[in-house]
Homo-oligomer: A and B are copies of this chain.
Amino acid sequence: MTTPAATASIGDSEFDRDTAVRRRAGEPHVLDTDLSAGWTIGHGVNGGYLLALTARALGEVLPHRDPFTVSAHYLTASRPGPAEVRTQTVRTGRSLSTGQASLVQRDEDGNEVERLRVLATHGDLSALPDDVRTSAAPPAMPSYEDCLGTEHAPPGTLSSLKQTGIVERLHTRFDPATVGWIMGQPSGRGEIRAWFGLADGRDHDPLSLLLAVDALPPTAFDLGLSGWVPTVELTVHVRAQPAPGPLRIAIRTRNLAGGFLEEDAEVWDSRDRLVAQSRQLARALRG
Interface positions of A (Cβ within 8 A of B): 68-69, 71, 73, 75-76, 90-91, 96, 98, 100, 114, 117, 119-121, 125, 128-136, 189-190, 223, 232-233, 235, 237, 239-240, 254-260, 262, 273-274, 277, 279, 281
User: A260 touching B75 by the CB < 8 A rule?
Assistant: no
Subset of 28 A-B contacts with CB under 8 Å:
A68-B232, A68-B281, A71-B71, A71-B119, A73-B90, A73-B119, A73-B121, A75-B90, A75-B98, A90-B114, A91-B114, A98-B117, A100-B100, A100-B117, A119-B233, A131-B257, A131-B258, A131-B259, A132-B257, A134-B257, A237-B260, A237-B281, A239-B258, A254-B274, A255-B274, A255-B277, A257-B274, A277-B279
Which residues does chain B contribute within 8 Å of A134, judged by CB atoms? 254-257
A198 to B255, CA, bound (A): 26
Complex: chain B residue closest to A120, CB-CB: B73
A39 to B100 Cα, complex, angstroms: 28
Q: Which residues of B contact A257 (CB under 8 A)?
A: 128, 131-134, 239-240, 273-274
B232 pairs with A129, CB closer than 8 A: no
Query: Can you name the residue of chain B whose Cβ is closest to the Cβ of A223?
Result: B133
Which residues on B sit within 8 Å (CB–CB) of A132? 255-258
CA distance A190 to B131 in the complex (A): 16
Q: Is the CB of B91 within 8 A of A136?
A: no
The reply to whether B235 and A136 form a contact with Cβ atoms under 8 Å apart is no
Add 15 more A-B contacts to A76-B91, A117-B119, A237-B260 (CB < 8 A): A68-B232, A69-B73, A69-B232, A71-B235, A73-B121, A121-B233, A121-B281, A128-B258, A132-B255, A132-B258, A233-B235, A235-B279, A239-B257, A257-B273, A257-B274
